[in-house]
Structure 1
Amino acid sequence: MGALIRYHFITYIKSYRYIPPLALYIISLCMNYTYRPNPVLDSFFNTALFLFFLTTWFTMSLFHAEDSSQEVITKLHVGKKNKYFISKLISCMLLFTFLSAVSIAYPVLLDMFEVDISTKQMVFGFIIHWTFSLLGMSIGLVFTRDVVREGSLSWFGPLFILIVTLAAAGVSFPYQGGGLLLYVLPPVSAIIQFINEGLNKFLVFGWALLYAIALISLYLWRANRRDV
């Protein structure tokens, strides 16, 4: 599995598909901390939302780093399609885990906050970034070519969901006027509100985890049903 993950990263680097989302990530991180001092929690929410959006992009670009013909050859070489797909999932998770850590380390090392940040706050900030990234990855997965073959839908779909989700981040929970639609979106709004109001953090993070697991399971089920 380790060799396969390394192969995915090498292929991704050689494809140069990572450059646009990585450049946008660096720009957004630097712009968020242009001035000092900054409030801790609000700053973390801002960079976590950036990462939520960009992780979807990273995921789709990593999963499409190989062209279709090379992907078929790799699957045949691996032998088990599920192993191939899971290795890509792990590669994505390693990538956004690293970016989540950078999102915390950058402002801490440059002393960008208005107060001294504690270890507990750093860990909590990392969890927020990691959770938002996991949600972003799960959205990207269900619009990869392993699931969606229609080219226009593969980009319009996640873009629409991301925009609506970010817009819904300003809607109070429980959602009013949005009906079922807001409940099927990634629970970004609920996470922000639960944390700001000091409500049950374990409940909302559990909700996010179950949401991501459901989409990842849908992806694996659909991808494994595809032809080699």
Structure 2
Amino acid sequence: MTAFVRYQCISHIRSLKFIPPVFLFLAWVFILYAYKNVPILSSYAVSSIALYLTMTWITMSIFTQDEESEKHILMAHLGKKVKYLFGKWLTILVVMIPLLLFAIFFPIITDSFKEGVSITLYAFAFYSHVIFSVFGILVGNLFSATKLATKKYAWLSAVFVIVVSLASKSIIEISMWFKWILWIFPPVFKVIEYMEADDHVLIHSAFVIDNALVVFYVIIGAAILVFLYLKKES
């Protein structure tokens, strides 16, 4: 598996597909912290959203970088089709980690925040960036490694899911009926709403329940993607 991940990383670098999403992400972070004394949580919320978009783009690029014949050869070498999927996920995580660390530590290194960052804020910032990255991976995976990948508007569909998930709270406020439809979209607002207040995180029952639901969504989403991927490749 290590050799496969190394091969995928090298292929991704050589394809140069990483340049647009990574460049835009870095530019987004630089612009975000162009000024000093910015609030902590709301700034991290913005960089989390940027990572959400970036990881969706990167995931779709990594899953589509192999030709069909090359993909079947790699599956044969790995022995199981599901190992190919897990190898892709590991490759995406390798790409994600430096971006995530940059988003978290760049404002600290440049002393951009208006006050010091506590351990609790560090932990929540790390959590929010990881969760939003995983949301991006799930969305990108859905439209690049399942039968939806063969649809003409796969990229547009991915953008639609991202936009709806980001606006879901406002959509629900229009009509509660949307609440029963929007549960299939990544529960972005269950994380974001705790980053809109002052620069502190209060651990209470609602916070624990909401984030438990987020983790549950990720687990179920990953399981469904494995099923859809194996169904496509069967």
Q: Same fold (TM over 0.5)?
A: yes
Q: Determine which of 205, 222, 228 is the counterpart of 1:222.
A: 228
Structure 2 residues not aligned, in runs of 5+: none
Q: Is the 8 A contact 2:172 2:179 kept in 1?
A: no
Once the two structures are superposed, the pairs formed by residues 76-155 of structure 1 within 5 Å of their partners are 76-155=76-155
Distance of 2:25 and 2:152 partners within structure 1: 24
Once the two structures are superposed, the pairs formed by residues 41-60 of structure 1 within 5 Å of their partners are 41-60=41-60
Instruction: State whether structure 2 residue 208 is matched by structure 1 residue 202.
Output: yes
1:183 is aligned to 183
Moved more, 94-103 or 188-197: 188-197
2:67 is aligned to 67
Instruction: Report the alpha carbon displacement of residue 167 of structure 1 after superposing the two structures with TM.
Output: 2.1
Distance of 1:21 and 1:28 partners within structure 2: 10
Instruction: Report the alpha carbon displacement of residue 92 of structure 1 after superposing the two structures with TM.
Output: 1.4
1:36 is aligned to 36
Distance of 1:171 and 1:36 partners within structure 2: 33
Distance of 1:172 and 1:38 partners within structure 2: 30
Q: Which amino acid aligns with 2:133?
A: S
Q: Which amino acid aligns with 1:215?
A: G
State, as a whole percentage, how many aligned pairs show the same letter. 26
What RMSD in Å do the two structures reach over aligned CA positions? 2.2
Q: Is the 8 A contact 1:36 1:113 kept in 2?
A: yes
Q: Is the 8 A contact 1:131 1:205 kept in 2?
A: no
Q: Which amino acid aligns with 1:222?
A: L
Distance of 2:232 and 2:192 partners within structure 1: 37
Moved more, 205-214 or 57-66: 205-214
Q: Which amino acid aligns with 1:161?
A: V
Instruction: Report the alpha carbon displacement of residue 179 of structure 1 after superposing the two structures with TM.
Output: 3.2
Distance of 1:172 and 1:28 partners within structure 2: 29
Moved more, 164-173 or 154-163: 164-173
Q: Is the 8 A contact 1:12 1:65 kept in 2?
A: yes
Q: Which amino acid aligns with 2:214?
A: A
Q: Which has the higher contact order (CA 8 A, sep 6+)?
A: 2
Structure 1 residues not aligned, in runs of 5+: none
Distance of 2:138 and 2:79 partners within structure 1: 25
- Judging changes above 3 Å, is the alpha-carbon distance between structure 1 residues 220 and 201 closer, same or farther for their aligned structure 2 residues? same
Q: How many residues align?
A: 228
